[in-house]
Amino acid sequence: MTAKTGNYGSTDVTIVEISPRDGFPYIRNVTTEQKINLINMLSETGIKKIDAIAFTHPALFPQNADAEEVVKGIKKKSGVTYACMIPGEMGCRRAVNTKIEEITFVISVSDAYNQKIGLKTLRETLNKIPTIFEMAINHGKTVRVYVLAAFGCPYSSKISADDVINLYLKLSHLGASEISLVDSTGLANPKQVKSLVKAIINLKLPSKLAVHFHNTRNTAIANCVAAYEAGVRIFDTSLNGLSWPLFGRIEDDLSFWNVPTEDLVNLLEEMGIRTGVSLDRLMECANFVEKIAGRPLPGHLSFARSLANNPKIYRGPDNYGDL
């Protein structure tokens, strides 16, 4: 089976590929060279933004200790934005002195969720944002913010759409160029997604709106479609669904609660929505990740292609063989 390439280079939506930062570094024994190779391969797919690495403390997250080296090794491609995540001011100081174009930062609308994953309270985080934003902007970097628990928190019943909208307003006022609403624990549903994103879009703020769904309750793709129908045009996805280990459980092998990039690109292109991404090249990246992991990974498109390419278990629509 040959993957469709879609309208390569022409876009109705923007795909933000997050696997180099959110998942790939947590494959055991992955090397700096392999991280660089993946980012360079993704640069050739038509994806316009790549979240490449995190400038976290090397002692706490040794997976990212080579952040500067990874960034240095990237073969930057014109038209592609390379981003990196920073946890605070020290990480920002490191990142702004590299060739990365965008700084990404995490904040949660839920203090209860913050406590579960070891972050500061919302108020404490907001207090340190101006310094970080100013530093990034003064170095010519744009700032992207991930808003965690934007669609609900299982540890708090106090989160409302107004809470998310108010936080979005503050972040936009502070200078965030792009804000991604993250469904941290997969609580979102299509009706809720449409309501919240329409309310934000109607504010007509300068910050671009993105969405970042997790598939812990198998609703992520449906929520992507709902977000598109409500007006969202920027989607965070990850090859094979690779993600950061659940709640930072770095002792885990791999997690897969992100939307697989190849699955969403395939769906959108089938719907006539242009992603600008070559699915053939994207699948080469997905296969590269699977080879490094040394085991099959759960992207649906990868699995479907493996079935179709194996005549022993799939022999056409009229004979399902041994399935």
Total structural domains in the chain? 1
133: confidence class by pLDDT, cuts 50, 70, 90 = very high
- Which stretches of the chain are assigned E, i.e. beta strand? 14-17, 49-54, 81-85, 102-108, 142-148, 178-183, 208-213, 234-237
Residue 262 domain boundaries: 14-308
Q: What is the structure's pLDDT at 305?
A: 59
Q: What share of the chain is helix, strand, coil (3-state, %, to 5)?
A: 40, 15, 40
**Chain segment 186-216, per-residue pLDDT in tens:** 999 999 999 999 999 999 999 999 999 999 9
Q: What is the pLDDT of residues 40-68, one digit of tens each?
A: 999 999 999 999 999 999 998 899 999 99
In a domain, 5, yes or no: no
Q: Is residue 313 part of a domain?
A: no
Between 47 and 305, where is the model more confident? 47
SS3 category, 138: helix
Residue 196 lies in a domain: yes
In a domain, 253, yes or no: yes
CA dist., res. 133 & res. 129, Å (int): 6
**Domain presence at residue 302:** yes
Q: Which two tokens stand for residue 212?
A: 């970042």
pTM (2 decimals)?
0.90
Q: Would residue 178 count as lying in a domain?
A: yes
| 60-69, 223-232, 247-256, 289-298: least confident range | 247-256
Is 161 a residue whose pLDDT tops 60? yes
- CATH number of 185's domain: 3.20.20.70
296 lies in some domain: yes
In terms of DSSP H, where are the helices of 21-110? 32-43, 67-73, 89-95
Assess if residue 319 is contained within a domain: no
